[in-house]
Chain A
Amino acid sequence: MRSERCTDDMALSKTIYNVFFRRSSVFTVTIVVSTLVFERAFDQGGDALFEHLNRGKLWKHIKHNYSEKTEE
C-alpha cells in the first residue's frame, strides 16, 4: 500500500513539475497567477477574520439599529 501511495505521489509531483515548473516562462506565469489568487484569498480572508473577531462592533453590524430609529 505504501508503494502504491508512493507511486501516486510521484506521478502527481511529476505532472505538477512537467506542467508548471519545467519551463521558466511557465514558472513565471505560475508565480504571477498564483500571486493574484493568493492576494485575493489572503486579503479577503484577513478581512473576514477581522470582521469575525469584531462581530457586533463595526458600523455595518449595528447600522440597521440606527436607520430603523430614524424611520420611526
Chain B
Amino acid sequence: MLEATAFPVAGPLKALVPGVIINEEKILIDPKKPFLCRESLSGQSPKTGPAVTVSINGKAGVRFAHTDIRVPDFSHYRRPDVLNPQKSSQESSESRKTFSYLMTGGSAVLSLYTAKTLITQFVTSMSASADVLAVSKIEIKLDQIPEGKNMTFKWRGKPLFVRHRTEKEIKTEDSVNLAELRDPQHDKDRVVNPKWVIVLGVCTHLGCVPIANAGEYGGYYCPCHGSHYDASGRIRKGPAPLNLEVPYYEFLDDDTVIVG
C-alpha cells in the first residue's frame, strides 16, 4: 500500500522542519464514473491507482519515489469521441477533423477580416485626398511685393515670410563669412532666386513670430527674447539656435511661386 508519508531521518544534521506525517486526503468514491484510463481509477478505488500493471505500455516496475504525487485524470480534457479506449476512433475521425478545421478556418476568417480592416484604415488615412493636398499649398503673386519689403502669408497654420531683397542686401548676405555664423549656411543654399527669400516666420528659439526689417542685421528681430536674424533669415545674435526654416517652393514663372 502506497501512502504519502514522510519520516524524519536520524542524522548528524538536525532537520529544520520536523517531519510530519501527511495523511492522504480522502477520495470520494464515484461508482458511476467509467473506467476510461489508468488514472481515472483514482476516483474509483479507495487506494491510488494500481502500483503494478501488466500490459504492453504499462509501467515496468514500481516506483516508490514520489508516490504521493497523484497523476491527474485528464479525461475531462479529451474529446468525448475518443474517451472510450474500447471504441475505435476511426469512425469519429471525420467529425473530429471537421471540427478542428472549422475552428482553424473560423479563426483564419476572423483574422483575415481584422487584418483587412486595419490595412484599409491605415491606407485610407495615409493617402490624403486632393482637397487636403490643395490646402497644403499656397500660390503667391510676387509682383505685389515691392522691393525691400516683407510680406507675411498664412501657410499650413504658420506665418510665411516672403521678402523682396534689394541688390544691397543680396550683396551683403552673399559676402557673409560663414565662420562667424552660429548655423553656417551660405545664402545660395537658402534661396532659389536671390531676389526672393521665403522662410517660415517662426523663431527657432521658442516659436514667436519675428518682426521684419528690424534688428541689428536688418533682417528679422524676434521681440520675445531678442534674436536677430539677417536678411537671409540666418540667426546672428540672440538665443535662437538655428536659422529660420526654408520650406520647399518652386517658381512657376518670374512672378508666381508655389510653396508646399
Contacts and interface: CB of A to CB of B under 8 A. Distances in A.
B101 A17 contact: yes
Interface string A7-23: 00110011011001100
Contacts of A16: 98, 102
Nearest to A21: B101
B108 interface: yes
A31 B101 contact: no
A44 interface: no
Nearest to A34: B109
Given A14-B94, A14-B95, A35 B101 contact: no
B171 to A, nearest CB: 63
B247 interface: no
B109 A17 contact: no
B95 A13 contact: yes
Contacts of B258: none
B97 interface: yes
Given A17-B101, A21-B101, A39-B116, A31 B95 contact: no
B120 to A, nearest CB: 10
Interface residues of A, number: 17
Interface in A33-68: 34-35, 38-39, 42
Nearest to A33: B109
B105 A14 contact: no
A13 B110 CA distance: 22
B113 interface: yes
Interface string B1-24: 000000000000000000000000
B94 A30 contact: no
29 contacts: A10-B91, A10-B92, A10-B94, A10-B95, A13-B94, A13-B98, A14-B95, A14-B98, A16-B98, A17-B101, A20-B101, A20-B105, A21-B97, A21-B98, A27-B105, A30-B105, A31-B105, A31-B108, A31-B112, A32-B112, A35-B109, A35-B112, A35-B113, A35-B116, A38-B109, A38-B110, A38-B113, A39-B116, A42-B113
Given A14-B94, A16-B98, A38-B109, 12 more contacts: A10-B92, A10-B94, A13-B94, A13-B95, A17-B98, A20-B101, A20-B105, A21-B98, A21-B101, A30-B105, A32-B112, A39-B116
In order of increasing CB-CB distance, the 7 nearest A-B pairs are A21-B101, A13-B98, A13-B95, A17-B98, A14-B94, A35-B112, A31-B108
